[in-house]
Structure 1
Amino acid sequence: MRLVSLLCVGLLSLQVSCGQTNKEVVIGFVEGLSGPFANIGEVALRHLHLEVDAVNRRGNLPDGIRMKVIPFDNKTNPQEALLVFRSALDAGVDYVFQGNSSSVAIALTGAIAKHNRRNPEHPVLFMNYAALDPALTNEHCEKSHFRFDADVNMKMAALTEYIAVRKDIDSVYLINQDYSYGHAVSAAARSMLEVKRPNLRIVGDDLHPIGRVKDFSPYIAKIKASGAQAIVTGNWGSDLTLLIKSARQMGVDVDFFTFNVGMTGGVTTIGESGVERVHQVTNWHANINEATQENAKLYRVKYPDVFEDAYYGSIRRAVRMLEKAMIESGTHNPEVVGRALRDMEFADDAGLVSMRADNHQLLLPLFVSKLVKIAGKNDLVDIENTGLGFETLAEIPAEKTRMTTTCQFD
């Protein structure tokens, strides 16, 4: 017994106890928590806490390790993100979660890769849950970066398949945020619609400053004057809700085709005027099946006093795949866990997903859905107590979302 006690004392000096380690897996949430997109960052942080708490309750990580989340405010700014990444390293972060802004994600991807080359004894992995610029899994790809949402091209391919069969629409207007992601949305929409509906007219293509437009009425006036029958936008956050609000106030009766209208405030802003007119392409929404509905209800139970509902299926997916990789590899070491993530398959609530080894882009089913009244549809869950929810129009199987890649890992 004395020998066992002495062994325990020795192990404790290495921060390890008999039967359990004191080591925590530190997740740095490097996101915009102030400024125009603060509410979106706060929503994502709540999603992350929900999933991390579930991992810790299950208690299945190697050696009793627990996950810990530390938030860092990057102000949705690439330069600020690089500064707070240094603070995250000082705090011992092992994994970085970020998703709101591809320009921030590109900056972090480069910084994390450089850190890993210089500090192989303390590698860090980047868990990207929503930054969708295709460059992140092409020319800017790095082994330390993994994306858990579909990129712009994957989503636009799905959305334009649906637009192509809408013969009642013969003109569209593109409006997007003026940074890498918005440029990618515009370029993808143009190139894909030209192939799938060569007779469809693109009557406008505007880019606006990200997070700085308070009044979209001048843009909406241009859209109204163009005679467009539909708006295609990748806008998110206040840039989407204010765009929708201006369109409603100015009586612009068009279809919206979006990536992010199910995000906080979108449905509440547009209200019943968007019924049957507002569409989205997403990796997740509450009404895909019983499992997604159950997860939506769990979010409401966890956060009964907040305005928004569950949205980030990609955060749940990222945390649970990270948990699985740690369990399968028997360690929390990011380099080893990264190897386990490559080629991983995972049964998500919305379907089977798999991580590509050649560029670390997740292949996952995508869903085109429209906004509907849920009254009389007992199988649907509403959003933000509006009596409105999304109903699936089309499902695109995961393998059909695969795109060619130029990624070449060093």
Structure 2
Amino acid sequence: MSIECECIELNLSNPTEQFGHFIFTSLEEGESATLATMLRRTLLTSLPGLKIIGFRISDANNEFSNVQGVREDLLEIVLNLKEIVFQNWANETSCYGRLKVQGPAIVTAGCLELPNDVKVLNPQSPLLTVTEETFIELEVKMERGKNYALATDRKPVGPGDFLAIDANFTPVLRVNSHIHPILEEVENSHEEVHLMIYTDGSLLPHQALKMAGNKLASMILSVTEPGVFDKELDNNMDNMINEEEDRIFEEDDQENMMIEDLEDLQKTMINESNMIFEDADKINEQIQDDEDDELERILNKINEQIQAPLDRSLSNLGYGNEDNSMINKNKIKDVKIKKTQTKKRKNKVEEIQKNEDSEIINPAEAKLRQKLEQMETGKLEDLGLSNRINNILKKANINYIRDLLQCSLAELKKN
């Protein structure tokens, strides 16, 4: 079913505001909103019109100047010039209008001298009022354009004394639309679009609608009609597809290179880690050997410090070197046993080192401290002395190593 358009109301009584009411029927559901939106936007933005874009008046250098003998200031004159509506049959791109008046007089838009194919639709629109016997000369420049244009967005309109102004070129003042559903059957429903168009008189409502429809049709046909566009579109799409394939291949190559680089980096990191662990093991073994040697040296020194006063005490008590040699052998055996237990003591030293937050102790010092604590709290049997010497010391109430270290030679002789 084809779309039909009908004008149900037309009002042309006001030359500067004309009205037309149009209905589009036989539209399927959803098509009416699309059609109404496209037509409304095209009517308001794509139709050309003729407007004043600049002017010059005698003795005025800028828009804030005052003209002698004129009641209105330049800002009010600018607003009056924007209200003038022109109709142009020849569709000229630009033209000029002039007026010369001797005051006092009331100057309107109809006083402008225009080209033959340009007409003022509101000649009674006021421009300015000359209150004194002053000669006023005004010249305006008109140009054809679309939509709304600011004076700052355009190049200078003419000679240096021309003042540029904003211009609203569109001949359509406003467009209203609404959609009415039509229920013909239960399964099939259609819609109709009501379009109300208001123009400034330079274009009739039905002329504006026709121009908008032709504009839309030309844009749509450029997509659907076969011809040059198809070839250009095919060429453009082929180029885009080739570029996209090249980009994908390039990304794949870059990704493969990145993967290879990551694998090489991973291998390098593993090798370096292995080397670091090997060096760390060597350093730990060396440190452990040094600590064992240092611990053995310290223990020997401690045993010597203990053995010297003990030998002197035993000599004073009348015991010979045989007992002392037995003690020395037991001491050497004890040192060897102590050396084999170095690793176990090392773990205990580390636990002590963690618990003491306020004091930092190296492993050798911790082991020495642990050894001294064990010797102070240990029993005489830990020294490996002979039974005879142990019995003598126990008779003297010396049961621990601490008691033996604190006991003087005089006390041993006394006992």
Instruction: State the TM bucket, normalised to the shorter chain.
Output: under 0.3
TM-score (norm 2): 0.18
Higher helix share: 2
- Structure ID, larger Rg: 2
TM-score (norm 1): 0.18
